[in-house]
């Protein structure tokens, strides 16, 4: 045998009587079965085994089973991004002629999917305010197939009237899809409240370190699951094994990170509210929040890890604030282990224009904070320094 022939053969994995404690990464695109009978058995579900990574792979499944535990789900799917998960649900469960109703403050790209892409495919869409259950339910049409909700909106942190909307949607035979990214299963478990499908951007708090882009979707009904799975696998919304591995590693500390970030967020909101030049602070469980009573009823003491606030002085003051907070990343994301700051008027909500933003209360002095796990005294003093320098 020549050296070249032996080089192209895969080496056997070294034998070991001990086992690795860490999760292995399996990047293989394809899996070899012993014979056609076994492959038949795999495809028919009589034997379990992977075939081709686009259809599923072990790192995605290990991560999905952990997320299933958090959401009280079965057979959830991990996909290549949060938007892949949203798209797989909306496009996997609808057909031309259906109508989809969404909350009017959904994540920016979800709004774009609703406004541009679904209508292009013959699926009608509309948006309504989910803090007003009567108005929201009145927007349901005979051909409404599903509604898409986020529990806490971005960036004004309004709390949807989940109980009334879910009850009303169920009574009308409409599927309820909840994007649970902001609340996380630590704050709210949609399946416990009657949701049909749950989606996540795992990229955010669940993975938690801003180094993996992933999504998750779980459906309570096996037929819905299959429709979503088939669509996702057909159009290739598959996640990278390495990203799944990173996210699974991140999940080990999810509950610790979340609880710490949430406690920090509540304390930071109160601290910022007492500073001169701060015109508004939004945190769901603060008594001055517009949905305070609903937040307490729905989320208990759990206000989450996001805080929004507004300072006087417009764009010039906003520029001074980020410049005076060099250790707080000014970046349009959320859920990182460290605190990040975003400015919706120049990023997530720039496409709305001044008037569209004004309708939501988003001014040039409006900031959204994704609070991290730093020591709270340091965090409060960094924000205080930045705000005092700005206003
Ligand atoms: C970030 C986000 C998404 C999209 O997730 P990606 O992983 O960035 O594709 C969807 N919904 C919400 C609420 C988000 O915050």
CATH of the domain at 342: 3.90.1150.10
Say if residue 290 is in the same domain as residue 242. no
Say if residue 284 is in the same domain as residue 154. no
Q: Residue 115's closest CA among 133, 97, 137, 100?
A: 100
Below-70 pLDDT ranges, the chain: 1-4
Is 341 within a domain?
A: yes
Tell me the CA–centroid distance for residue 106 and ligand 1, in Å.
10
Place of tokens 């769901």: 284
Which region, left, alpha or beta, applies to residue 11 given φ > 0 means left and ψ of -120 to 50 means alpha?
beta
Could you tell me the strand order of the sheet in which 278-282 lies? 278-282, 306-311, 366-370, 340-342, 329-330
Whether residue 155 is preceded by a cis peptide bond, meaning omega within 30 degrees of 0, is: yes
Is 294 within a domain?
A: yes
182 lines ligand 1 (CB under 6 A): yes
Is 320 within a domain?
A: yes
Nearest residue CA, atom 11 of ligand 1? 107
Is 47 within a domain?
A: no
- In this structure, what token pair is assigned to residue 361? 């209360």
Sort 57 into a burial class: Cβ within 10 Å, 0-12 / 13-18 / 19+.
buried
Nearest atom, ligand 1, residue 84 CA: 9
Nearest residue CA, atom 6 of ligand 1? 82
pLDDT at residue 4 in the model: 64
Last residue of a domain, one of 251, 283, 313: 251
Say if residue 316 is in the same domain as residue 349. yes
Say if residue 311 is in the same domain as residue 359. yes
Cα separation, 200 vs 132, whole angstroms: 24
Last residue of a domain, one of 251, 277, 311: 251
- In this structure, what token pair is assigned to residue 149? 């909700």
Tell me the CA–centroid distance for residue 367 and ligand 1, in Å.
18
- In this structure, what token pair is assigned to residue 162? 């989940």
Say if residue 71 is in the same domain as residue 218. yes
Nearest residue CA, atom 1 of ligand 1? 201
Is 1 within a domain?
A: no
Cα separation, 158 vs 160, whole angstroms: 7
Residue 35, classed as helix, strand or coil, is coil
Is 23 within a domain?
A: no
215 lines ligand 1 (CB under 6 A): yes
179 lines ligand 1 (CB under 6 A): yes
Say if residue 284 is in the same domain as residue 205. no
Q: Which pTM does this prediction carry?
A: 0.96
Say if residue 264 is in the same domain as residue 161. no
Is 18 within a domain?
A: no
Say if residue 80 is in the same domain as residue 223. yes
374 lines ligand 1 (CB under 6 A): no
Say if residue 239 is in the same domain as residue 295. no
Task: Tell me which DSSP letter residue 388 carries.
Answer: H
Is 46 within a domain?
A: no
Cα separation, 145 vs 130, whole angstroms: 17
- In this structure, what token pair is assigned to residue 36? 């056609």
Tell me the CA–centroid distance for residue 314 and ligand 1, in Å.
28
Say if residue 273 is in the same domain as residue 247. no
Last residue of a domain, one of 218, 235, 251: 251
Greatest CA separation for the chain: 80
Say if residue 215 is in the same domain as residue 333. no
Say if residue 224 is in the same domain as residue 95. yes
81 lines ligand 1 (CB under 6 A): yes
Note down the domain range covering 266.
254-390
Sort 115 into a burial class: Cβ within 10 Å, 0-12 / 13-18 / 19+.
middle
- Tell which one of 83, 202, 213, 304 to mutate to probe ligand 1, the residue whose CB is within 8 A of the most ligand atoms: 83
pLDDT digits (tens, 9 = 90+) for 93-147: 999 999 999 999 999 999 999 999 999 999 999 999 999 999 999 999 999 999 9
Residues composing the chain? 391
Nearest residue CA, atom 4 of ligand 1? 82
| Domain total of the chain | 2
Report the relative pairing of strands 99-103 and 124-128 from DSSP bridges: parallel
Instruction: Give yes or no for a contact between 132 and 107, defined as CB atoms under 8 angstroms apart.
Output: no
């Amino acid at each position: 045998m020549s050296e070249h022939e032996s080089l192209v053969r895969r080496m056997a994995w070294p034998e070991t009587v001990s086992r690795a404690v860490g999760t292995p990464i399996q990047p293989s695109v394809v899996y070899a079965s012993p014979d056609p009978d076994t492959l038949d058995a795999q495809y028919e579900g009589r034997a379990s085994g992977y075939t081709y990574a686009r259809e599923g792979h072990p790192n995605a499944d290990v991560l999905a089973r952990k997320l299933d535990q958090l959401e009280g789900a079965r057979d959830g799917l991990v996909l290549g991004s949060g938007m892949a998960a949203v798209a797989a649900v909306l496009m996997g469960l609808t057909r031309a002629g259906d109508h989809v109703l969404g909350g009017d403050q959904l994540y920016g790209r979800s709004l774009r999917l609703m406004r541009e892409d679904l209508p292009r495919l013959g699926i009608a869409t509309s948006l309504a305010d989910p803090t007003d259950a009567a108005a929201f339910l009145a927007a349901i049409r005979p051909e409404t197939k599903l509604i898409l909700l986020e529990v806490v909106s971005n960036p004004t942190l309004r709390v949807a009237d989940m109980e009334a909307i879910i009850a009303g949607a169920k009574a009308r035979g409409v599927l309820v899809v909840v994007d649970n990214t902001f609340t996380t299963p630590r704050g709210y478990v949609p399946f416990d409240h009657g949701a049909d499908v749950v989606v996540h951007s795992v990229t955010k708090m669940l993975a938690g370190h801003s180094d993996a882009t992933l999504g998750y979707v779980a459906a309570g009904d096996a037929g819905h699951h299959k429709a979503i799975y088939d669509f996702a696998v057909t159009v290739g919304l598959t996640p990278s094994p390495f990203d799944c591995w990173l996210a699974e590693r991140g999940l080990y500390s999810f509950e610790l990170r979340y609880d710490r970030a949430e406690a920090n967020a509540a304390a930071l909101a109160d601290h910022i509210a007492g500073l001169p030049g701060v015109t508004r602070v939004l945190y769901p469980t603060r008594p001055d929040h517009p949905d305070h009573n609903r937040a307490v009823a729905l989320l208990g003491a759990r206000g989450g890890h996001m805080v929004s606030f507004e300072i006087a002085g417009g764009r010039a003051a906003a520029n001074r604030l980020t410049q005076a907070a060099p250790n707080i990343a000014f970046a349009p994301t959320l859920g990182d282990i460290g605190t990040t700051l975003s400015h919706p008027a120049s990023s997530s909500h720039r496409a709305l224009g001044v008037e569209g933003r004004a309708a939501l209360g988003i001014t040039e002095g409006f900031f959204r904070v994704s609070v991290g796990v730093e020591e709270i005294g340091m965090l409060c003093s960094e924000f205080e320094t930045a705000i005092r320098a700005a206003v």
